[in-house]
């Protein structure tokens, strides 16, 4: 069974993204990255991405992680802030810790792309 199914499918992902962005927009470490972003569109992209990344239906049409974040000059601190806000959202929605751990493993799998770390030679 996929993480998507374990946490409750589309409704759970939608709720998680909504709570996540509420948290992110209040976090001064990272909120400025969203100052000029159409948040309705961002929510839709994130919901589609998380659904696909967690093993649900793939309706994601956005850029890959490296391209989507290349212009942002993100640091380890930014990545940590995003992860902390995601964990807080999942806990608020009473997602089991074992599923949170699986979700964070998915996030960590794209960390180098998000931070634009050059691929190993």
Distance (Å, whole) CA 62 – CA 50: 12
What would the mean pLDDT of 86-110 be, rounded to a whole number? 95
Is 69 annotated as a binding-site member?
Answer: yes
pLDDT for res 116: 85
Q: Is the pLDDT confidence value at 99 over 90?
A: yes
pLDDT bracket for residue 58 (50, 70, 90): confident
pLDDT bracket for residue 31 (50, 70, 90): very high
Residue % of the chain over a pLDDT of 90: 72
**Structural domains in the chain plus CATH codes:** 3-114 (1.10.490.10)
What would the mean pLDDT of 55-67 be, rounded to a whole number? 82
């Amino acid at each position: 069974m996929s993480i998507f199914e374990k946490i409750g499918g589309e409704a759970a992902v939608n709720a998680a993204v909504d709570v996540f962005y509420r948290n992110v927009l209040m976090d001064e470490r990272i909120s400025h990255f969203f100052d000029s972003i159409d948040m309705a569109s961002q929510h839709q992209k994130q919901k589609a991405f998380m659904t696909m990344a967690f093993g649900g239906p793939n309706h994601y049409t956005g850029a890959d992680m490296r391209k989507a974040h290349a212009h942002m000059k993100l640091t380890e601190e930014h990545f940590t802030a995003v992860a902390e806000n995601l964990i807080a959202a999942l806990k608020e929605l009473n997602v089991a810790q074992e599923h949170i751990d699986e979700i964070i493993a998915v996030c960590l799998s794209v960390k180098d792309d998000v931070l634009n770390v050059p691929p190993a030679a």
